[in-house]
Structure 1
């Protein structure tokens, strides 16, 4: 009898502990939804009162909100944030705003002079199609994929990232530069293939992922930022960086793009090579001696003045979102627990801004490009985007 009572007591204690843990998790999610709603309400109120359609990206040195044109690579993230706010809350007031800010990007579907059309249309129109099932968004996604396809270089088997003769890139001597960020744009291609039935988009995405896996990664599974190809032969001309500390260093957001990109590729292809590669990238990131205890990385894992280097919340948010998806494919690993730890760090006062501050962005302490002297220790709209996506993925996992 005593043994039975002991077992009952232990079971009750475990149940109470489990219940308390679930309550803490729900509180974290709901608290961060409320914070996001407050910040996005302030942000959209400013825009609506202006009578214009403005697209906030970050703040300047005086704390003023910096708005961007529709051809900026970050233009899809703010509409995406509103779509995610709508999904997290179910509040119908966000739907017309999400549509308004998304549809302001309509002409981007024809953009052919850089690769980031995948970010721009994927975060806006593709989310609108997924979340609100707006039929006319389908054709925009497909047309954008056609535009991105024009940058595919058959000889090299990759989608060229930047035009080598445009802006500061023209000074680097590149012929066909491909950046690791481009892995993120493959989602647009995979989705366009599903929507249209045209396997060309799928085949381009797979070719790019395969070539990148061969040439972008070092023996320790860290990745270069830029690999320049001969567009005709596919020969590698150089391996460099544009936004990292040095050519042989590991730029933090680049590692996050890689982790997210190969996890996403596995979603569409079920090719185990991509899943295994994502796990190798994870192993590099989380065995790195310079990764801080709170798991929010310095802007480059090899930056020379660690620990006195800026953190990059955008890299952390992207990594967390990727890990929630990766955890669904390899549930026996602790990927979700690691993602939770990152999210709890980002949701803490160390990184989450107080309502009404930080230009009404959610997260503080991100880095755009230190080598260019741009956006150092500021909020960035894509940090908020992946944080909100992480909240959605965390909530969906815990509902199951």
Structure 2
């Protein structure tokens, strides 16, 4: 180990120590709820409730990330209380399986981070059944005409043709189900959907679209939408992060070289379009003078860059480049956008749900905190492999 590498490892260890101390307080305060975003008083809200809209409340797409934080903290500390708190989160999501109507393509985000994480660590049969139940529902959203998994549940069939870039991350639930059961339909659907994303979402320059609409009857692509980015044809940074991480996961599960090539292509776009000081804008196409950031994108991308680096042993220069980019992103968040006050819940600051909500929407998001913790644990070779 070189002197520089030793220094960086020591710095990463200190960052992780401070973040886990802060996270421990947040976990204890929120153990009876399902947090999503921090309110004005500095504490997370609670989505553990039933809503008239089946997509909201207990069914909200981010409701697995707190469970994921708890499992990562359990792996880091081996403190039994984190396992117990994580099991509470897992059981809360049983309501979603029972209600069924509110389950969407983000079943991966909800059950990979809870039930599947539990099963990987403990072998608990009940957790395995939950994970396979969720994977079966996700596979059931596959449209054979367009070879895609439908994103949402809009009324009257409005969203039957909607596909979004975030879905790449959720394919890991189907890959796990295939690896666990040997049932080839899970892998076939995951690969087919990933190929559709590759064919219709990735532009020549490596940027990605957020939403593509298909005709659900014919399977034909009808066009793309700007979604949560700056506008049509732009490059939403969190979508770019989902792409680089999602294609990396697809390669790790299938060893299909084209997926690693796409992971690198989308990662290269992300790193060469960062703003001064390694800031991740909400959208890489937003006006140059705008300083709006989305540090959830930075955290997701950092963890994805580390994952790509771990798979590129044959290209040491590129491997080091991706690892260095991850480190710069994580260090910047720590130094400029991280709250370590144990009396407040927020960790990663200046996040954005979308470009439209850049000023009025939530600025602290549970998935930013999750991916920041995951990435720091990866730096120290202590992360649970969830994806």
TM-score, normalised relative to structure 2 = 0.88
User: Are the equivalent residues in 1 in contact too, given 2:38–2:346 (CA < 8 A)?
Assistant: no
Out of 106-115 and 339-348, give the one that drifted further.
106-115
Match of 1:26 in 2: 10
The within-5 A match list for 1:275-294 is 275-288=260-273, 291-294=274-277
- Classify the secondary structure of the residue corresponding to 1:249: coil
- Classify the secondary structure of the residue corresponding to 1:93: helix
The within-5 A match list for 1:76-87 is 76-87=64-75
2:119 aligned to which of 113, 129, 140: 129
Out of 253-262 and 57-66, give the one that drifted further.
57-66
2:18 aligned to which of 23, 32, 35: 35
Instruction: Kindly indicate whether residue 325 of structure 2 is the aligned counterpart of residue 338 of structure 1.
Output: yes
User: Are the equivalent residues in 1 in contact too, given 2:168–2:194 (CA < 8 A)?
Assistant: yes
Out of 74-83 and 326-335, give the one that drifted further.
326-335
Structure 2: distance between partners of 1:270 and 1:21:
30
The within-5 A match list for 1:363-382 is 363-372=348-357, 376=361, 378-382=363-367
Structure 2: distance between partners of 1:61 and 1:352:
17
Instruction: Kindly indicate whether residue 311 of structure 2 is the aligned counterpart of residue 329 of structure 1.
Output: yes
Structure-2 change in CA distance of 1:123 and 1:375 (3 Å): farther
Instruction: Kindly indicate whether residue 54 of structure 2 is the aligned counterpart of residue 67 of structure 1.
Output: no
The within-5 A match list for 1:236-315 is 236-288=221-273, 291-304=274-287, 306-315=288-297
Match of 2:142 in 1: 152
- Classify the secondary structure of the residue corresponding to 1:237: strand
- Classify the secondary structure of the residue corresponding to 1:294: coil
- Classify the secondary structure of the residue corresponding to 1:378: coil
Instruction: Kindly indicate whether residue 196 of structure 2 is the aligned counterpart of residue 211 of structure 1.
Output: yes
Shift of 1:24: 3.9
Out of 246-255 and 133-142, give the one that drifted further.
133-142
Structure 2: distance between partners of 1:374 and 1:80:
28
Structure 2: distance between partners of 1:28 and 1:261:
25
Structure 1: distance between partners of 2:382 and 2:43:
37
1:352 aligned to which of 329, 338, 342: 338
Structure-2 change in CA distance of 1:57 and 1:194 (3 Å): same
Shift of 1:285: 1.4
Structure 2: distance between partners of 1:94 and 1:199:
34
Shift of 1:101: 2.0
User: Considering only CA atoms, is the larger Rg found in Structure 1 or Structure 2?
Assistant: 1
User: Are the equivalent residues in 2 in contact too, given 1:80–1:385 (CA < 8 A)?
Assistant: yes
- Classify the secondary structure of the residue corresponding to 2:36: strand
Structure 2: distance between partners of 1:134 and 1:396:
24
1:233 aligned to which of 206, 218, 227: 218
Structure 1: distance between partners of 2:179 and 2:236:
33
Structure 1, unmatched stretches of 5+, are 1-14
Structure 2: distance between partners of 1:201 and 1:58:
33
Instruction: Kindly indicate whether residue 42 of structure 2 is the aligned counterpart of residue 58 of structure 1.
Output: no
Match of 2:373 in 1: 388
Q: How many residues align?
A: 367
1:107-149 deviation digits (Å, cap 9, x = unpaired): 3345454211110111111222223333321111111011111
Structure-2 change in CA distance of 1:114 and 1:377 (3 Å): closer
User: Are the equivalent residues in 1 in contact too, given 2:352–2:363 (CA < 8 A)?
Assistant: yes
1:329-368 deviation digits (Å, cap 9, x = unpaired): 21321211211111111222x11102235x4132111111
Shift of 1:64: 4.5
- Classify the secondary structure of the residue corresponding to 2:186: helix
Out of 34-43 and 65-74, give the one that drifted further.
34-43
User: Are the equivalent residues in 2 in contact too, given 1:40–1:361 (CA < 8 A)?
Assistant: no
Structure 2: distance between partners of 1:35 and 1:286:
27
Structure-2 change in CA distance of 1:377 and 1:165 (3 Å): closer
1:359-400 deviation digits (Å, cap 9, x = unpaired): 4132111111232568746211100111111122211199xx
Structure 1: distance between partners of 2:16 and 2:122:
19
TM-score, normalised relative to structure 1 = 0.85
Structure 2: distance between partners of 1:44 and 1:295:
29
